[in-house]
Amino acid sequence: MKFGEVIKYDSNEFVYLAQTTEVIHLGKIPNEELSKWAIDLKRKTFTQGSKNMKQKQEAAAWCFVELTTEELKNRAAYYINTGHSFNPEDFLDSICVLNMKDRIALKEEIMKDGHASRELRELIKDLEIKEK
């Protein structure tokens, strides 16, 4: 598997981020309804001129990116609490690979967000995002 590959496991969708010998880092992709709720809330919180906007931005732990990949439009990919002990053979159902824009955005958000695990940031820091 490679960074940005979307898989289905136990009727949930995840994006593969990285792995060690013990842990696979997967970001959850919630359904469209939950994604829309989170995206709308983030947009409202970050509206220019809103009261205490700067403090809200600094304190918020959004930990997701809005996806633009055709198969996943209007959905979000979370990168918090990503460590799972799944067996890679358990999820052979690859759905798609995130487009380049989404993979770049996901990596950038993980690298700059202090809420993402240190291990995950270390695993992807030297990752080069290439066309599919």
Token pair recorded at residue 69? 């990949």
pLDDT the model gives residue 53: 58
Residue that wins the pLDDT comparison between 95 and 83: 95
pLDDT tens-digit map of 52-93: 655 555 555 557 788 989 999 889 888 766 666 666 666 567
Whole-model pTM? 0.77
Task: Give pLDDT tens digits for 96-108.
Answer: 999 999 999 999 9
| CB-based burial label for 17 (10 Å; 0-12, 13-18, 19+) | buried
Q: What is the pLDDT of residue 127?
A: 93
User: How far does CA 127 lie from the centroid of its chain?
Assistant: 15
Per-residue pLDDT of 1-59, as tens digits, reads 899 999 888 788 999 999 888 888 888 898 889 888 877 877 776 655 656 655 555 55
C-alpha to C-alpha distance for 46 and 130, rounded to whole angstroms: 31
The end-to-end CA distance of the chain, in Å, is 12
Residue corresponding to tokens 């202090």: 114
**Contact between residue 125 and residue 111 where contact means Cβ atoms under 8 Å apart:** yes
pLDDT for 56 equals: 55
* Residue 83, beta-bridge partner list: 25
DSSP assignment of 88-117, as one string?
GGG--EEEEE--HHHHHHHHHHHHH-TTS-
